[in-house]
Structure 1
């Protein structure tokens, strides 16, 4: 069975993370998608984060009533900077087929990722673009990534190595940084976040 991974800092997790995954799962009949919180992103070394236990607790709350989403703690347990290629190599020891889910913004910076070639040698990417990114973003991709693009993702026939599958899913106009900013400002009407997650944030005085 193929393994599907969606990595991120989830600081905090919000509906913009969860709902596209559920849509992807339903559309392609994916049995399970693993959410992979990183310990320290190499692109966010200077960004202040909260304790791993809080991010994990919020993830558990966010997926509590969902089927087919689970949490993979590999990177948090490993501690230190989370390099995706190292995670992919470790996960490939336990699965033959691996798909790494990401947004288009991540794909645009993909060639800056450490050992990005190693990643594509061991898995395929499933990219979820925003509707406004099709005509403006794809021309910006490096040529070595353009030739890997595919638009015909099928869980039963997809290549598990070297492909970049572009998949349409509904995306929400929200980010973790916006939620953190709203909380810091004392805003009480915060959209696109599970109320139980928001209650947890307030209870533990996170991001204030």
Structure 2
């Protein structure tokens, strides 16, 4: 029996993952790295904002501070979150279903908190969430289960009855290791990880409306 749901944001509720892969490259090019390696986004997507900013400095020998990297990348992507990035199809229908069944839900994400809040408000679903947790509250991000455990506590549900809905392999690995039931969600950016995601997940969907049938 699922009594609460923890949603990831980027690639799960928001159709935003391609934005991040392009922004990483744009930032590095802006800072003199003329040919950023194609795998850089795959590396940093497993990191917190703090970790990825330090990685850029160390890996590419940038002379700027970590605080500058954090601020500049947020500036570069802010307009897209505030004005353009859409919800994934059937997000609203899924939330309506959860509300009709009295199942509480919230968001746990590695995205900048201000950007996540701006996008959710523009899309009209921010006030429906019990919480929005980021690495501001949990600096270790999703490589450790603390953010999922904290989310379950806010929902008032046990680990075994709290469904984690994620599109990223490393997040699914963390949630599964902590004992959460997991629903993997298809996103084109994670295509290479799909076989392993399907193997690990209790459920796997290509569209969010399929979760309604699962529940």
Q: Give TM-score scaled by structure 2 length.
A: 0.43
TM-score of the superposed pair, with normalisation by structure 1: 0.44
Instruction: Determine which structure has the larger helix proportion and give its number.
Output: 2
